[in-house]
């Protein structure tokens, strides 16, 4: 069966410029291609189009960045739940130069975009993208998180985390 595609801007030039980040170069002007071929994919498309308003919300993004700059300097590990493009994990690592982050994203297409955005910003060694439901994350040596996170960031729009 042929898959249908919709173009959805995931990390636009405007959002990236506002936050001092780079848009992933291997995605066209409109962003990533998301498959629209099943029930879950239809939800993903809806969620991704809603995500645009978050990326372009200057006040929201500035507030997250300011909050992360005020986080304790002892923060070593940040967990970004429902990471989308990895924006909050990237802002955390930018604000806290000694921390690492785990960006948990359930949708594979979004997780791939996050990986590309993080690579474009030189953060691939500090942020690990985990493609799974947050409730399935495991903690411990060799697991998704090496230890419990010091700080958890998220933007909760639904119960798919």
Confidence of residue 97 (pLDDT cuts 50, 70, 90): very high
**Average pLDDT of span 39-58:** 56
For residue 46, the model assigns a pLDDT of 41
For 7, 12, 69, 118, the CA distances from 99, given in Å and listed in that order, are 33, 26, 12, 15
Confidence of residue 16 (pLDDT cuts 50, 70, 90): low
Residue 144: DSSP 8-state: S
For 18, 23, 60, 106, the CA distances from 30, given in Å and listed in that order, are 17, 11, 22, 22
pTM, two decimal places: 0.72
With a cut of 70, say whether residue 28 has pLDDT above it. Answer: no
If you average pLDDT over every residue of the chain, what do you get? Answer: 74
- Would you say 88 and 62 are in contact if contact means Cβ atoms under 8 Å apart? no
Which range among 47-51, 83-87, 130-134 has the greatest average pLDDT?
A: 130-134
């Amino acid at each position: 069966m042929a898959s249908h595609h919709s173009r959805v801007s995931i990390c636009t030039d405007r959002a990236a410029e506002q936050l001092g980040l780079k848009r992933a170069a291997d995605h066209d002007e409109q962003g990533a291609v998301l498959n629209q071929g099943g029930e879950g994919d239809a939800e993903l498309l809806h969620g991704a189009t809603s995500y645009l308003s978050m990326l372009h919300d200057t006040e929201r993004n500035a507030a997250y960045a300011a909050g992360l700059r005020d986080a304790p300097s002892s923060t070593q590990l940040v967990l970004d739940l429902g990471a989308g493009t990895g924006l909050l994990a990237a802002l955390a690592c930018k604000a806290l130069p000694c921390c690492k982050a785990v960006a948990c994203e359930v949708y594979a297409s979004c997780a791939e975009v996050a990986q590309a955005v993080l690579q474009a910003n030189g953060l691939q060694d500090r942020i690990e993208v985990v493609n799974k439901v947050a409730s399935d994350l495991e903690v411990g040596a060799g697991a998704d998180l090496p230890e419990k996170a010091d700080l958890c960031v998220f933007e909760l729009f639904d119960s798919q985390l």
